[in-house]
Structures are given as structure tokens and as C-alpha cells.
Structure 1
Amino acid sequence: MSFAILANALTMILCMAVLVQSVRMMRSLRTVKDGALTEVVTALEKATAGARSVLSEMKATLTDSAQHARLVDQARGLRDELSDMIGIADAACERVVNAVGLANSVRSAEADAEAEAEEAEAKPEAELA
């Protein structure tokens, strides 16, 4: 076989393949023309509407999340402020407790001193009698 015959045979095979693909493409185009295109467009419209609803829900969720984040930040600030106030209150309470303890010790010392003074006064009178 010569090179020319081989090239012609190969060209015929490729032309047959092109004819087969052309027939398949014509059938597909005819199907689209007969109404499949409207079904595709309808399906795309439904998918687009679904995507829009999902996006609007996501937007609402993100808005809610942003509000919650702001509330959490405010709560953290309040927590820090309350923690400082508790620290101040604890210090004041300790000072009050210390002051009461000191006052009680002074009062008991004064009471002891008065009791001793009364005993001292009572002794000379008892000795005189």
C-alpha cells in the first residue's frame, strides 16, 4: 500500500466521524428547538430564586451575628467594669471589717480599764470598812 492510499483511507474514516457527530449535534439542536430550552430556562429560574432566598437568609444570619458580636463586646465591657467594682467593694469591706475590729478592741480595752478602775475604787472602800 502506498502512502496516498493510506492517507485517503484515513481521511475517509475522519469524514465518517465528522458526519456521525454532525447528525448527533443536529438531533440535540432539534431537541433544544422543540422545547427543551424552555425547560432549561425554567430550571435556571428556579435555581436562581432558590439561591436568592439562601443568600437573603445568609445576610440575615450575618446581620444577627454582627448584633450578637456587639452584644458580647458590651457584655465583656460590663463584666470588666463589674469586676473592678467588686474589687473596690471588697477593699472597702476589708477596711470596714478592720475598723470594726479596731473599734471593738478599743471598746473592750476601755471597758477593761473602767472595770479595773471600779475595782480599784472598790478595794480601798472595802479596806476601810
Structure 2
Amino acid sequence: MSFQILTSVATMIFCSAVLVQSVRMMRSLRAVKDGALTEVVGALDASTTQARLVLSELRQTLHDCASSSRTLANGKEIAEELSVMIGIANATAERLVEAAGAANTVRDSEEVAA
């Protein structure tokens, strides 16, 4: 058996394999052509519509969150201002208590002296 005959046999085997693959591919393409492709396109269209709806809902949610974030930031600023005001009010109340205590002490000492 010469090299030329051996390469011819190998080429025949490869050609037969290509023919078998071609037949399999043609069957698959016919199956897609007969109706599977229209179903796939319909499913993709429905999925695209649903994705658009979800994206619009996400945009609305993000918009709502942004406005809530602004409100939260304003609330934090007001809380800080209120805590400062409460601190001032507490200091004033302590001074008033001390002044009232001192006034009571002075009054009590005047009553005792009189």
C-alpha cells in the first residue's frame, strides 16, 4: 500500500464525515425553519417587552429613592439643629435651677436674719 493510496483513503473518510455532518446540520436547519425560529423570535420579543417594563419600574424606583434621600438629608440637618437647640435649652434650664437655688438660699438667709 503506497502513500498515495493511504492519503486517498484518509481523504475519503474525511469526506464521508463531512457529508454526515452536512446531513445532520440540514436536519437541524429544517427544524429551526419549520417553526422553532418563530417561537424563539416571539419569546425574545416578549422578553424584551418585560425587560423594558422592569427598566421603567427601576427608573421610577430610583427617582423615588433620590427624593427620599434628599428628604433624609434635610431631616438629618434638622435633627442636628434640634440637638444644638436642646443643648442650649438644657444649659439655660440648669442656669435657671442654679439661680433659683441661689435666690432661695439668699431668701432663706434673709428670713433667718430677720
Whether these two folds match at TM > 0.5 is yes
How many residue pairs match? The answer is: 114
Which residue of structure 2 lines up, in the alignment, with residue 55 of structure 1? Answer: 55
Q: Could you state the TM-score of these two structures normalised by the residue count of structure 2? A: 0.88
Runs of 4+ in 1 over 6 A off after TM superposition: none
Cα displacement (A) at 1:111: 1.1
Separation in 2, partners of 1:84, 1:2: 103
Q: Cα deviation per residue 1:29-71 (whole Å; 9 max; x = unaligned)? A: 2223322221111011111112112212222222222222222
Which residue of structure 1 lines up, in the alignment, with residue 112 of structure 2? Answer: 112
Q: Could you state the TM-score of these two structures normalised by the residue count of structure 1? A: 0.79
Separation in 2, partners of 1:97, 1:103: 10
Matches within 5 A, 1:2-41: 2-41=2-41
Separation in 1, partners of 2:10, 2:86: 94
* Structure number with larger C-alpha Rg: 1
Identical-residue share of aligned pairs (%):
59
Separation in 1, partners of 2:13, 2:54: 52
Matches within 5 A, 1:117-128: none
Which residue of structure 1 lines up, in the alignment, with residue 72 of structure 2? Answer: 72
CA-atom RMSD in angstroms: 1.5
Separation in 1, partners of 2:32, 2:75: 61
Separation in 2, partners of 1:105, 1:93: 18
> Mind listing any 5+ residue stretches in structure 2 that lack a counterpart?
none
